[in-house]
């Protein structure tokens, strides 16, 4: 099966109102070419799940700056002045989730779990509206799974089947997000023949990848 896809085909997959996950840490390891194309596409009313809001003029941050995002689920927005301004004037809904909790919520969706229990956030604004569960005399917050319609991940290398390798810190949220969406599209820096990546170096298996885009 040929999983290759061009940029215009990628953008066509995203519809108004979808929930979209985007891998990367700031713009490191992110599908930045795809984000540039989406920022020019006019698609909007998106719910965006990501580690951070990137920068106002780079990566997924462009979507926020353009007003294409209605809700942001993230751990940090301070690097994106547009996100801060939009949150403060109530034109962008922001749900903050501590970074480790965010990762676990995404992992929970991929693993088919009903949620995760964590003490992180107890007694803070993070606790508001959430169920507190006591286990052996200790309180935990029930954090529900995060799933998306589409996940965009970035990879250093993909083979033609979609087995992925991430170099160094570019791995970040990408493997987790590849497990937690109905449709997964990778932006690969390089595409090689199937079998070229040693099995022990496959960080995301091809079964999780629906489409492969490369510049």
Range of the domain at 49: 7-113+145-214
pLDDT digits (tens, 9 = 90+) for 150-179: 999 999 999 999 999 999 999 999 999 999
In CATH, what number is assigned to the domain containing residue 152?
3.40.1080.10
**Is residue 133, in this structure, part of any structural domain at all?**
no
Residue 74 to residue 117: CA distance in whole angstroms: 18
The C-alpha atoms of residue 143 and residue 120 are separated, in whole angstroms, by 10
Q: Is the pLDDT of residue 68 over 90?
A: yes
130 inside domain: no
Per-residue pLDDT at 1 exceeds 90: no
**Among 56, 54, 75, residue whose Cα is nearest residue 65:** 56
Q: Are 29 and 60 in contact (CB under 8 A)?
A: no
Number of domains in the chain: 1
Nearest CA-CA partner of 73 in 156, 180, 155: 180
Residue 131 placed within a domain: no
The DSSP 8-state label assigned to residue 180 in this structure reads S
Domain for residue 190, yes or no?
yes
The token pair at 65 is 């700056």
Phi, psi angle pair for 31, to nearest 5°: -80, 70
pTM: 0.95
Residue 125 lies in a domain: no
Give domain status of residue 135, yes or no: no
């Amino acid at each position: 099966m040929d999983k290759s896809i061009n940029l215009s085909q990628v953008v066509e997959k995203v519809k108004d109102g979808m929930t979209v996950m985007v891998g990367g840490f700031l713009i490191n390891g992110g599908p930045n070419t795809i984000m540039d194309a989406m920022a020019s596409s006019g698609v909007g009313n998106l719910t965006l799940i990501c580690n951070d809001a990137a920068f106002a003029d780079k990566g997924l941050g462009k979507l926020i700056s353009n007003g294409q995002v209605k809700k942001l689920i993230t751990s940090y927005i301070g690097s994106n002045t547009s996100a801060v301004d939009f949150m403060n004037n109530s034109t962008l809904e922001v749900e903050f989730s501590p970074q480790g909790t965010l990762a676990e919520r995404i992992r929970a969706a991929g693993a088919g779990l009903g949620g995760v229990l964590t003490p992180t956030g107890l007694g803070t604004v993070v606790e508001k509206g959430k169920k507190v569960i006591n286990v052996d005399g200790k309180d935990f917050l029930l954090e529900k799974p995060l799933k998306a319609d589409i996940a965009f991940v970035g990879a250093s290398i993909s083979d033609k089947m979609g087995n992925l390798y991430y170099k160094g810190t570019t791995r970040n949220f990408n493997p987790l997000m590849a497990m937690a969406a109905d449709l997964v599209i990778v932006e690969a820096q390089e595409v090689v023949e199937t079998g070229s990546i040693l099995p022990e170096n496959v960080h995301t298996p091809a079964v999780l990848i629906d489409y492969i885009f490369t510049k």
